[in-house]
C-alpha cells in the first residue's frame, strides 16, 4: 500500500541498469505551463518524393544513385561520424606530467550505415504492420552478423541463422574488427532527424560507447552477485506480474515504462528469456519483436494524435568482448520520447537535470496507464 504514496510525493528511484538515480516530482504536473509550445506537424507526405535523398531511384546527397529497392536498403553513410581510414594517432608518453594525467584521448575508427525502413516516403514504424517491420529486424540481424567477431560465442549461432540474406552485393566487409554496434532511429525534427523518409542508422566503433558500457557493468555485477541470474530477465518477470508499468507484452517480450524512467513516456522493450543479441532469436521471436515495436510506436502516435518524436536504440552484446561480457549482455530496446503534456509541450533536460540528476513529473505508472489506453487502429487512418 505504501507504494501508492509515491504517486503524490517527491522521491528518487534507482536505475538498476545504469547505477544512477532519477528524481520524481508528480505534484509538478499541476503547475501552469506558459513556456515554449512546439506546433504539431500536420503534413501529408507523398509516397515518393523526387527531391528525397533516400527514396528509390533518386540520387543521394553526394550524387550516388539509389536502386529501385522494394524492402529495406542499406548504404554507408555519406556523412559518417567515424571512418574506417584516418590518420593514426599515438599519444605522446608524458610520464608523471599533469598533461598525461589529465588530458586523455584515443583514436576511434568505425563504419556508419543508413538503413531505410521502407521504399515509401510517407510511412513511419507506427504506420507499418509487424510483417512490414520484420524485414527491418532481419536487416539489423544481417549487419550485426556481418560485423560479429569470429571469436565471439555468438558466431556459431549466427552461422546457423534462418534469417534471409541481405540481398545487397554492394556492402563491403569491414576492414577491421569493431567492438560495438549501435543501431538507432531518430524520429521527427524535434529529435534532429533531417529527412522524413523512414530510416535509422547503425554505427560500429572500435570503442565500447558510454551508455552500453555503463549498462554492461551493471549487468555483469548483478550476474556475479546473484549466482548467475540476469538482471533484465528478473526485471521483466517482476513487471509482467505487477502489470502497472506494462504497456504491451507477448510471449517473448515485455514492453513498458521502466520503474526508473527519465523521459515522460519512455519505453523499454525487454526479452523475457535471456537473449544476448539479435542472432539469438528464432523466427517466432523475431515475429513477436516486430509485433511489439508496432504496438509501441502506434500507441505513441495515438497518445497525442501526432507523429510522436523519439530516439530509439538497441542494446545488445558487443561485437567483440570477453565471455563474461557476452554472456552478461541482454537484448533490450530503449525509446526516449520528449513529449510531456501534449503534441506541443515537451520535456527539457535542463537546469537541475543537467547539473544535479534527471527529474520527471508524471510517474512511470501514470504514463504506462495512458499508453495502455492508446491501443487500436492508428488515429490518422480515420482522418
Binding-site members for Zn(2+) are 52, 55, 121, 197
Dihedral over Cα of 196, 199, 204, 208: its sign: positive
Residue 380 burial (C-beta neighbours within 10 Å; 0-12, 13-18, 19+):
middle
What order of strands is seen across the sheet that includes strand 359-360? 11-15, 20-24, 359-360
Q: Is 90 a catalytic residue?
A: no
* Cα–Cα distance for residue pair 292/284, rounded to 1 Å: 12
Q: Cα angle vertex 145, ends 202, 16, to 5°? A: 65
* Cα–Cα distance for residue pair 182/376, rounded to 1 Å: 31
* Cα–Cα distance for residue pair 39/19, rounded to 1 Å: 36
Neighbours of 238 (CB within 10 A): 11
Q: From the candidates 27, 48, 147, 199, give the one annotated as an active-site residue.
A: 199
Looking at the DSSP bridge assignments, the partners of residue 21 are 14
Grid coordinates belonging to 104: 586523455
Q: Alpha carbon 64 to chain centroid distance?
A: 28
> Which residue ranges make up the annotated binding site for Fe cation?
215, 315, 332, 334
Q: Please say whether the beta carbons of 55 and 48 come within 8 A.
A: yes
Neighbours of 273 (CB within 10 A): 15
> Which residue ranges make up the annotated binding site?
52, 55, 121, 197, 215, 315, 332, 334
Dihedral over Cα of 228, 19, 145, 173: its sign: negative
Torsion of CA 42, 313, 271, 360, to 10 degrees: -70
Active-site residue list = 199
Amino acid at each position: 500500500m505504501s507504494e501508492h504514496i509515491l504517486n503524490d510525493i517527491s522521491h528518487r528511484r534507482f536505475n538498476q541498469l545504469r547505477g544512477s538515480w532519477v528524481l520524481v516530482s508528480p505534484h509538478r504536473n499541476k503547475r501552469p505551463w506558459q513556456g515554449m509550445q512546439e506546433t504539431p506537424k500536420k503534413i501529408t507526405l507523398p509516397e515518393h518524393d523526387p527531391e528525397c535523398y533516400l527514396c528509390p531511384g533518386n540520387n543521394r546527397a553526394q550524387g550516388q544513385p539509389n536502386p529501385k529497392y522494394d524492402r529495406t536498403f542499406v548504404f554507408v553513410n555519406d556523412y559518417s561520424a567515424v571512418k574506417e581510414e584516418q590518420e593514426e594517432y599515438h599519444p605522446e608518453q608524458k610520464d608523471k606530467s599533469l598533461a598525461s594525467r589529465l588530458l586523455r584521448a584515443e583514436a576511434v575508427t568505425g563504419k556508419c550505415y543508413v538503413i531505410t525502413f521502407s521504399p515509401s516516403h510517407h510511412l513511419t514504424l507506427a504506420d507499418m504492420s509487424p510483417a512490414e517491420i520484420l524485414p527491418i529486424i532481419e536487416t539489423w540481424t544481417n549487419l550485426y552478423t556481418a560485423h560479429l567477431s569470429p571469436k565471439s560465442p555468438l558466431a556459431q549461432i549466427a552461422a546457423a541463422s534462418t534469417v534471409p540474406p541481405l540481398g545487397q552485393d554492394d556492402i563491403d566487409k569491414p576492414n577491421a574488427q569493431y567492438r560495438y554496434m549501435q543501431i538507432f532511429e531518430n524520429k521527427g525534427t524535434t529529435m534532429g532527424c533531417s529527412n522524413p523518409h523512414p530510416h535509422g542508422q547503425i554505427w560500429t566503433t572500435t570503442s565500447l560507447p558510454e551508455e552500453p558500457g555503463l549498462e554492461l557493468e551493471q549487468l555483469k555485477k548483478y550476474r556475479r552477485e546473484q549466482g548467475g541470474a540476469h538482471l533484465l530477465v528478473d526485471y521483466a518477470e517482476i513487471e509482467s506480474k505487477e502489470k502497472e508499468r506494462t504497456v504491451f507484452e507477448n510471449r517473448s517480450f515485455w514492453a513498458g515504462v521502466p520503474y526508473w524512467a527519465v523521459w515522460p513516456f519512455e519505453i523499454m522493450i525487454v526479452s523475457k528469456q535471456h537473449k544476448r543479441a539479435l542472432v539469438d532469436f528464432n523466427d517466432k521471436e523475431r515475429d513477436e519483436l516486430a509485433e511489439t515495436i508496432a504496438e509501441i510506436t502506434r500507441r505513441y502516435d495515438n497518445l497525442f494524435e501526432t507523429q510522436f518524436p523519439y530516439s530509439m536504440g538497441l542494446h545488445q552484446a558487443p561485437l567483440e568482448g570477453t565471455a563474461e561480457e557476452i554472456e552478461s549482455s541482454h537484448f533490450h530496446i530503449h525509446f526516449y520520447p520528449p513529449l510531456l503534456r501534449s503534441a506541443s509541450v515537451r520535456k527539457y533536460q535542463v537546469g537541475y537535470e543537467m547539473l544535479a540528476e534527471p527529474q520527471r513529473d508524471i510517474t512511470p505508472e501514470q504514463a504506462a496507464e495512458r499508453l495502455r489506453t492508446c491501443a487500436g487502429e492508428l488515429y490518422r487512418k480515420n482522418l
